[in-house]
Amino acid sequence: MSAPAIDARAAHAEGVERLLRSARDIPAGAPVRLAKRTSNLFRSRVRTDAAGLDTSGLTGVIAVDPDARTADVQGMCTYEDLVAATLPHGLAPLVVPQLKTITLGGAVTGLGIESTSFRNGLPHESVLDLDVLTGAGELVTASPHEHADLFRAFPNSYGTLGYAVRLRIELEPVEPFVALTHLRFHSLPELVAAMDAIVATGRHDGAPVDHLDGVVFGADEGYLCLGVRTAASGPVSDYTGQRIYYRSIRHDEGAAHDRLTTNDYLWRWDADWFWCSAAFGAQHPLVRRVWPRRYRRSRSYATLMRLERRYDLGNRLERLKGRPPRERVIQDIEVPIERTAEFLAWFLANVPIAPIWLCPLRLRDDDGWPLYPLEPHRTYVNVGFWSTVPVGATEGEANRRIEREVAALDGHKSLYSDAYYPPDEFDRLYGGTAYRAVKRRYDPDSRLLDLYAKAVQRR
């Protein structure tokens, strides 16, 4: 083991001790939370000044093993830092969520997805083992063979069973570049059928496909974005400056082609938060010229959004214009691929939001994961939409309608944003029986929030 790795392991031990000290300092019976101000969650919650867990020493990569193709990573390490450590070895995590600020621990306890998910599943499926600080204050190592109940229930528990301190994950080889083909479709059923065929075979027109996602701009305009890893050198595009990635996808007919470095491909959505940077004027050519490049990233837009929510700036502007307030519809849902065209048609007819992101996935694990019970060997499509609509007659009207439609199509939705499920339906959809059994074992005094309280009641 090299000296830097030894130093990193010593630093990790110090970070763990700092975490445990902060846990011991929380009064007996008091609730336990992380002591951090930022979050990639998009739901409101009750603010608290209670002392929290100190994770400031748990933000890095401990070691990368190029021969075993694994990495030991601290729970609060961002994917930006993780990728920076693995790419020099020609390796990457099996699934790299789209935004640089997402942490590995967050993606495992709260789910994540990207364009490799049609062949690599979800981020937690590449975890070999992980150390978890439980609600009982114990540091346990969970794996398929040790504390297996916690290992399997941890994904989608959102920190209500414990917090990831260290994770060992699989890595896979990558090439320096990704060659892209953007296929245009005038029919959403045809787009979904083409996606289904690629997922089933891993190929398109006889050529391999390493990455697959898509964008829908309307009922008669959708695209599949196919990526192939390549070592062949050549010119590459740059979407961190004046050019905007999602706009490059659009074309009139057939196929369009592009190339990116692997690093730029992994973060192609981050520079403009997919397309949501437009809400802050960052896509206007004049604004973009003076907007510093280092601030063209998801972290900056998330900061602006938190300020907007704190002071209710958007609704104040709507009132000045004589318009009603807006309801946030910031969601990712999964429906079976055979129901995807049906969902898209319903969504476009009922929810005035576009573009829409598409990302297919299949679980790697044959046993499934109890708190997000997608079926193994079945293809699903993640549909992501992030905007606002005029408020309805009741709180969360648009979000509630979406929840009902997703459930009717045998789907699920991620819990990182606003949810409105009644307790019994939430229990059925998100593995309530399995969750309670693990909760009783690892958090018997309920020092951590309950999942329903955190995801729906927003505590």
For the chain, what percent of residues have pLDDT higher than 70?
Answer: 95
What confidence tens digit (pLDDT) does each residue in 197-254 have? 999 999 999 999 999 999 999 999 999 999 999 999 899 999 999 999 999 999 999 9
Determine the pLDDT at residue 33: 86
Which numeric CATH code is attached to 3-174? 3.30.465.10
If one counts every other C-beta atom within 10 angstroms of the C-beta of residue 97, the result is 25
H-run or E-run covering 89: none
Specify whether the CB–CB gap between 335 and 380 falls below 8 A: yes
Closest CA to 105 of 72, 60, 74: 74
HSE toward the beta carbon, residue 20, CA cutoff 13 A: 11
Partnered with residue 129 across adjacent β-strands are 168
CA gap 233, 227 in Å, rounded: 15
> Is residue 309 very low, low, confident or very high in pLDDT (cuts 50, 70, 90)?
confident
CA gap 354, 2 in Å, rounded: 50
What confidence tens digit (pLDDT) does each residue in 261-292 have? 999 999 999 999 999 999 999 999 999 999 99
Burial class of residue 237 in the structure, from the number of CB atoms within 10 Å of its CB (0-12 exposed, 13-18 middle, 19+ buried): middle
Closest CA to 129 of 117, 116, 145: 145
According to DSSP, residue 449 is labeled P
What confidence tens digit (pLDDT) does each residue in 149-169 have? 999 999 999 999 999 999 999
CA gap 432, 169 in Å, rounded: 27
293: three-class secondary structure by DSSP:
helix
According to DSSP, residue 270 is labeled G
> Is residue 49 very low, low, confident or very high in pLDDT (cuts 50, 70, 90)?
low
Q: How far is CA 331 from CA 210, 393, 397, 414, 418, in A?
A: 26, 20, 14, 7, 8
